[in-house]
A and B are shown apart, each in its own frame.
Chain A
Amino acid sequence: MLTFDNVSFAYGQQAVLKNISLQIMEGEFLTIIGPNGSGKSTLSKLMNGLIQPYLGQILVDRLDTQSPQNLKEIRQIVGLIFQNPEDQFISTTVFDEVIFGLENIAVEPDKMQSIAEDALKKVGMLSYKDVEPHKLSGGQKQRVAIAAILAMKPKYIVFDESTAMLDPNGQKSIMTLMQHLHDEGFTIIHITHLMEEALKATRVLVLNGGVIVAEGAPVDVFHNSRVIENNELDVPLPLKLKGRLSEAGIVVPKQLVTLEGIVDYIWTSN
C-alpha cells in the first residue's frame, strides 16, 4: 500500500500540494486527472522519494520515503515514467537505456539481455535497440521510457502522461499494456489529460490547486457536472450523448459508457 498522510509540498515559497491524504491499494488502477499545474507530476515524484514533503509522511509498503536508507528499495518498488521522456534518458543507445535501470537493481547479469529485449518488444521498439535515444521521434522516445521502467518490474508503476505523444494505435496499445499489467497484479497509477482513458480506471482522483477535489469511480466522477466544469475537464463523447438523450427523455443505463453500448441499447430497447 502507498500512503500519503497529510502531505504538503512546496517549491521554494510556492505551496504546490496541500494536506494530501491518500491511500493507493495494491492492485488498483488509479487515474489522476486535473488542470495543468495542479500538482499531478509533483505528487508522482513524491511517490518514489524523488522529492520530499515539508509536512506529513509518505509510506511505500511501510517504507518511509524520507529515510535515505529506504530509497534504493523504494525506487525498485515504485517505477516512475516521467512526463518528458527526455528527462529520463542518460545512455547512448536505446538498449543501454533499458539495461541501465537493471544494473541498479539485483538482476543476474546473464538475464539482463533477455529482460531488456522483452521490455523493448512489449512497446514495439526492439528494432531500434542500437539507436541513440535523442534521434528518435517523440512517440518513439515515449515508448523507450516506458520500456526502461517496465524492465525493472516495479510493483507500482506510475505513467505520467505516457500516452500524450503517441499515435492512436500507440495510445491504445499502451492502454492495453496497462490493463494487462493490472490483470497480472501490478498497481497502475496513470496521470492523463485524455478523458476516455480515465474511464478505464478503477478509481479516478481529481487534483486542483494542490488539493484532491473529487474522487470515485469514473462514471460517478464524470456524471458530476460541477466537478467537470470546475476543473478544466471534459466529458467523454459517450457520456455527452447520454446526457443529451436523457434531456430528450431517453434514459440509458448508467453502466453503459461506450458509443457501441449506447447505440445498441437504443436499438434493442425499441
Chain B
Amino acid sequence: MDIKLENVSYKYPSLSNDSWESIRELNCMFETGKWLSVIGQTGSGKSTLMKLLKGLIAPTAGRLLINGQENKLSKKGNAQIIQEVGLVFQYPEHQLFETTVLKDLAFGPKNQGVKKEEINDRTKVIIELVGLSEAYFDKAPFELSGGEKRRVAIATVLMMNPEVLILDEPTAGLDPQGSKLILQLVHDWQKAGGGQRTVIFVTHQMNEVAEYSDEVLVMNDGEIVFQENPIALFREHDHELKAFGLDIPDSVKLLKLFEHRFGKRIEVHSLQEEVVLEEVVAYFTKQGDDLL
C-alpha cells in the first residue's frame, strides 16, 4: 500500500488562530515494502504525522492518497480511519483499555470479524514474539511495568495483520535486548510479507535508525527537511542534523573520528554497528601498517 501526502497541513482545532500549524505543507511518499524511519526534535510533528497516516485526524489542508485514491472525509465530515494501517501509539497506555492482556489482544481482530480459533492461535504466537509469555494473558494492563505495557501494545497491533505498521517510539522504555528483539521482530515480520509490508518507525535513537532503515525522514518544526538513505544522510549532513537538535549514530561518529585522525575515508555498505566495527578494526590491525 502506497501512501502519499500532497501539500498536507494540520492544525489542532484547539489552538488559537495566531498559533501555527503542527504540520506544514508536507509532500512525501511512503512506498510499499520500505522501512522508513522518522526522526525530529521534540514537538516537530512526528506523532501528528503518524495520526494523519492512520486517518485518526484529517489534513486541514492538502490531500492524503492511498494507492492513488484520496482518503476523503466520512459522510459526517469526520476523518476516516485506514484499517490496513496499524499504529502503535507513543504512550502504550493510550492503546490498552481492556481488563486483561488477552482481551486487549483479541479486541482488534474480533472487530475485524476474525474467527475465534484464529484469534486464539494468533495470541499465542504473538505474545511470544514480543518476548512475553501466556502467563501474561490474565494480567491487567495497568499492573504491568512500563516496558511490558509497550510490548503488549505492539502485540495488539500485530494481531490485526496490518499492511503498514507505524511504530511511534516503540523502543522508548525497553531494555537494550528488548529493543533489539522488537526491532528484529518487526524486521522479520516485514521480510515475511513478500515486499508488501511497510514499516514507519519513529525514534529518537539514531543508533536504531542506523541498524534498519531504507530511508530516513527528518522533520523540523512541522516540515520535512530531508528524505534520504541513511548513509548519505548521516555521513554528509551531520552539521544540519545537529542544527535541528538531532545527532548521528555512534557508528558514523566512529567513521568520522577515524577519517579525521587517519585521513582515510572507509566506505561501508551499511551503518550497522557490527559492519562498521569490523571495517574499522580491520584498518586498525591488518591494514594498519601501511596506514600509519
B277 at interface by CB-CB < 8 Å: yes
Secondary structure at the B interface, as helix, strand, loop or mixed, is helix
Q: Identify which of B23-31, B55-63, B110-118, B254-262 touches chain A.
A: B254-262
* B residues less than 8 Å from A84 (CB atoms): 91, 93, 146
> CA A105 – CA B220 in complex, angstroms?
39
On A, residues with C-beta under 8 Å from B are 11, 34-37, 41, 83-84, 86, 135-140, 143, 161, 164-171, 193, 195-196, 232-234, 236-237, 240-241, 244-245, 248-250, 259-260, 263-264, 266-267, 270
* B residues less than 8 Å from A35 (CB atoms): 147, 175, 177-178
B176 at interface by CB-CB < 8 Å: yes
- B242-279 contacts to A (CB < 8 Å): 245-247, 250-251, 253-254, 257-258, 261-262, 273, 277-278
Interface centre among A34, A169, A171 (most CB of B within 10 A): A169
Instruction: Specify the chain B residue showing the minimal Cβ separation from A135.
Output: B14
> CA A259 – CA B147 in complex, angstroms?
30
29 residue pairs from A and B, CB less than 8 Å apart: A35-B147, A36-B150, A36-B151, A36-B173, A36-B174, A37-B144, A37-B145, A41-B146, A84-B93, A135-B12, A135-B14, A137-B47, A138-B42, A164-B173, A165-B42, A167-B42, A167-B245, A169-B246, A193-B147, A193-B175, A236-B250, A237-B250, A237-B251, A241-B277, A249-B285, A250-B284, A263-B258, A267-B261, A270-B288
> CA A171 – CA B172 in complex, angstroms?
12
On B, residues with C-beta under 8 Å from A are 12, 14, 39-43, 47, 90-91, 93, 143-148, 150-151, 169, 172-180, 204, 206-207, 245-247, 250-251, 253-254, 257-258, 261-262, 273, 277-278, 280-281, 284-285, 288, 292
Q: A84-B93, A169-B245, A249-B285 are in contact. Are A232 and B145 (CB under 8 A)?
A: no
Complex contact B246–A167 (CB within 8 A):
yes
Q: Which listed residue (A139, A241, A263) contacts B43, Cβ 8 A?
A: A139
